[in-house]
Every structure is written in C-alpha cells, then in structure tokens.
Amino acid sequence: ENREDMLSSKSNRLTEALEEANKLFSGVSCAREAALDAQFLVLASNLGKEKANELHSEMTAFDSLAFAEDLLTFMGINRIEVEENDSDSEGISGGYLPSNAWHKLGEETEKYFRRAPSFHYMLGSFKSDPPVPRQRIERQKKTTGGEEKRAMPAQLKKMEESHQEATEKEVERILGLLQTHFKNDPDTPISFFDLVIDPNSFARTVENIFHVSFIIRDGFARLKLDDDKLPIIEPSKDEGRKDDHSAGARNQVVISLNHQEWK
C-alpha cells in the first residue's frame, strides 16, 4: 500500500521491510508462511527494480534545456532585445548571440583538452624567387679627377637607397666647395674645423665630418696637421693620389667631438 513511500529515493522503507522480513523468516515453520514470504520477496524485488530505475533516470533527467541556456549565457548572449512574442513555440530562446560566441566557448574548452597545438612554420613557405641582390657598388679608387666627377653621377644612379644618394650629393657639394676655394686661393689649406663646424647645429657638424670623411677616403683631399698640430684639409693633386695608392699610405683617424667641445 505504501508504494509511493517505498519508491521514494529518500526513504529506506524498502530496506526496512526487507530486514523485517528477514527476521520474520527465522520464525517460519510451516509452508504457508514460507509461501507468503516468497510472495513478499517478489513484491520487494519489483519495487527494488523500479527504485533502481528511478535512480538511473534521475541521473539522466539531465535538463538539456537548462544546459543549453547556460551555454548561451556563457557564450555571451544578449537577452535584452528579446521580443514578447518570440519563439518559445519553436524552442529557441530569444536574444542576440555575438559573433565570437563559439570562440569564447572554445577558449574555455581548451583548458579541458590535451590537444596538441597545430604545427606551423612561423616564417611561412619558401618564396619561389630568390631575393633581389642588393646593388652595393664598391667605391673605386679614383685616378683622375675630372673623369671621376663625371663618373660619380653615373654610379649614383645605380644606388638603391635614397639616403645614400643624399649622402653622395652632400659629399659632392662639399668637395665642390673645397675645390672652388682652392682654385681661388691655392696653396692655402683650410682648417678642418673651419670647414666642418656649423656654429648653429651640432648635428650638422657631425654630418659634415661624415661627408668630408668620404672625400678623404676617396683621396680627393688630404688631412694634415699644421704647425699648430691642428688638422687642415687640402685637395690632393693627381700625382699625389697615385703615390698614395702604391705606397698604401692610408691611415685611419678617429676624431672625437662632443657637444661641449663643439660649443
């Protein structure tokens, strides 16, 4: 009679009844009682089976609807825009699911997986064309002045970097200045510092030293120390330059000039 009570997962009534039956059985002496006992056992086992099923179905009474809603929430669904008559009849709840919803879920998921990251080369595949070789022209040691001047612009055109062109132009300009000065006033060497220092700009001064160094490297001019041990600069004559090359008479000079000194 107390079927519902017995079936409830919260009650141990069935167990208690079984235990009682067990105790009673020891007092059984005649067949009729044994038969009753057997009947009781059948009933009890049927109830037991149902109870077990109920247990099972409680576990699988997994509320998939609620789970779906929770997933949508996790993915960032925006429910504010739900309309009144929205599709509960279709079984899909309303709301706007953002485009990164699944990605967001995936990111959380990755924590629960031991998936090997996909292997990809960082630099991508090989390019089919070989890299274009850089057009660096070696500066030739010049032997004649006039032709060199004409040749230099032609060389310039081959340079790729534009800042190199700018450098070249500057160097040319300074060389021109130097040569003009000496044409007007030969045999008077110019003080190096007079030539390069820009009283208004330290940076410009450094640039000038840089440009003059090219002139000297190429042998268009020479640096010497005058009687006061101050550097002076004078254009090289042709013969001098030739000698320079054969004798290998080239020196490295390091000039240091800091801001204070410049001032």
Partner 1 sequence: PPQHQRLAFAFASQGDDGDEDFSLSQMPTHSQVQRNLERHSQDQLNQKVSELVQFLLVKDQKKIPIKRVDILKKVIREYRDVYSEIVNRAGRTLQQVFGLQLVEIDTKHHIYILTSDLPRAEGENLRRDNQTAKLGLLIVILSFIFMKGNSAKDSESPPAPHFPFLPPPPPLTPRFPGAVWEFLRRLRVQPGERHEVFGDVRKLVTEEFVRQKYLEITPIPLTDPPEFKYQWGPRAAKETTKKDVLRFVAKVR
Binding stretches for partner 1 (CB under 8 A): 59-60, 62, 64-72, 74-75, 91-93, 97, 99, 101-120
Q: Of 79 and 169, which CB lies nearer to partner 1 in the complex structure? A: 79
What is the closest distance, in whole angstroms, from the C-beta atom of residue 60 to partner 1 in the complex? 5
Helix-helix angle 162-184:145-158, to 10 degrees: 160
What is the closest distance, in whole angstroms, from the C-beta atom of residue 200 to partner 1 in the complex? 47
CA distance 22 to 140: 116
Q: How far is CA 11 from CA 2, 58, 150, 247, in A?
A: 11, 15, 111, 114
Q: Of 98 and 186, which CB lies nearer to partner 1 in the complex structure? A: 98
CA distance 2 to 24: 20
What is the closest distance, in whole angstroms, from the C-beta atom of residue 100 to partner 1 in the complex? 8
Is there a contact between 254 and 242 (Cβ–Cβ < 8 Å)? no
Q: Of 122 and 154, which CB lies nearer to partner 1 in the complex structure? A: 122
Q: Of 81 and 138, which CB lies nearer to partner 1 in the complex structure? A: 81
What is the closest distance, in whole angstroms, from the C-beta atom of residue 65 to partner 1 in the complex? 7
What is the closest distance, in whole angstroms, from the C-beta atom of residue 114 to partner 1 in the complex? 5
Q: What is the residue-wise DSSP string for 197-235?
A: --TT-HHHHHHHHHHHHHHHHTTSEEEEE-TTS-EEEEE
199-203's contacts with Cβ under 8 Å and 24+ in sequence apart are 202/259, 202/262
Q: Of 97 and 225, which CB lies nearer to partner 1 in the complex structure? A: 97
